[in-house]
């Protein structure tokens, strides 16, 4: 049944307000966007082999134990930054609320962050000197912002890239990622403390 015109107008205005709010949040963080690329270009960060898409869906878990076995979907392997890869893994695994199909809420789970970074640092700590480690929190903050920009751009272009099952899903996904950025920013001191705890003791041990 067709919706009344005033309902459609109200919905369109609300949608426009959400788009404008998202754009304002992105604009406020423009200084963050080139940080990793600039560090890569001036050789402050070195390129290595990365997975390229280390999200939760690409982790193979054991059937008979509560443990991860390996990463799968290796067609995304590419030269890249370790900071980018582990930050993307944390973005996927530590967002315990928003999944793209609900209201734009997000919660960066610090306990999961500590567990994941602790396990990662068991082997990777020697690869991160102090300069490389300084870019880890900015990467954790940047990755959901980049994804929010991609979702929003696809929404504005008519949902051409990401598959959607309902109107405004890409917009909602963008808002969720921006909410995750805000939560990561609010927890900056905690996240930086976790990074220090996980890497410093293992670097000394190595």
**How confident is the model over 158-178, as pLDDT tens digits?**
999 998 899 899 999 999 999
Q: Is the pLDDT of residue 89 over 50?
A: yes
Residues with Cβ within 8 Å of residue 157, at least 6 apart in sequence: none
18-77 confidence digits (pLDDT tens)? 999 999 999 999 999 999 999 999 999 999 999 999 888 898 989 887 788 888 999 999
The least confident of 42-56, 70-84, 99-113, 144-158 is 99-113
- Structurally, the chain folds into a number of domains equal to 1
108-137 confidence digits (pLDDT tens)? 999 999 999 999 999 999 999 999 999 999
Q: Is the pLDDT of residue 104 over 60?
A: no
User: Looking at residue 9, what is its pLDDT?
Assistant: 46
The residue with greater pLDDT, 191 or 67, is 191
User: Looking at residue 102, what is its pLDDT?
Assistant: 52
User: Looking at residue 5, what is its pLDDT?
Assistant: 44
Residues with Cβ within 8 Å of residue 195, at least 6 apart in sequence: 117, 133, 136, 137
Q: What is the CATH number of the domain that holds 201?
A: 3.90.1200
User: Looking at residue 176, what is its pLDDT?
Assistant: 93
First to last CA, the chain: 67
User: Looking at residue 4, what is its pLDDT?
Assistant: 54
Q: Is the pLDDT of residue 191 over 80?
A: yes
Please report, rounded to a whole number, the percentage of residues in the chain having pLDDT higher than 90: 69
**Which domain does 52 fall in, by range?**
5-205
Mean pLDDT of 4-10: 47
């Amino acid at each position: 049944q067709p919706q009344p015109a005033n309902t459609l107008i109200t919905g369109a205005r609300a949608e426009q307000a959400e788009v404008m709010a998202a754009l304002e949040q992105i604009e406020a963080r423009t200084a963050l966007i080139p940080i990793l690329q600039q560090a890569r270009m001036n050789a402050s960060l070195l390129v290595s082999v990365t997975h390229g898409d280390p999200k939760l869906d690409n982790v193979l878990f054991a059937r008979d134990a509560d443990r991860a076995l390996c990463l799968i979907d290796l067609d995304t392997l590419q030269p890249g930054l370790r900071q980018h890869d582990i930050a993307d893994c944390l973005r996927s695994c530590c967002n315990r609320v928003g999944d793209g199909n609900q209201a734009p809420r997000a919660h960066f789970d610090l306990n999961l962050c500590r567990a994941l970074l602790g396990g990662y640092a068991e082997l990777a700590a020697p690869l991160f000197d102090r300069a490389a480690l300084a870019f880890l929190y900015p990467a954790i903050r940047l990755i959901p912002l980049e994804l929010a920009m991609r979702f929003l751009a696809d929404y504005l272009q008519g949902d051409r890239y990401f598959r959607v099952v309902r109107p405004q899903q890409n917009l909602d996904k963008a808002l969720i990622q921006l909410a995750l950025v805000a939560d990561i920013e609010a927890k900056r001191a905690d996240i930086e403390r976790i990074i220090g705890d996980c890497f410093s003791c293992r670097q000394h041990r190595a």
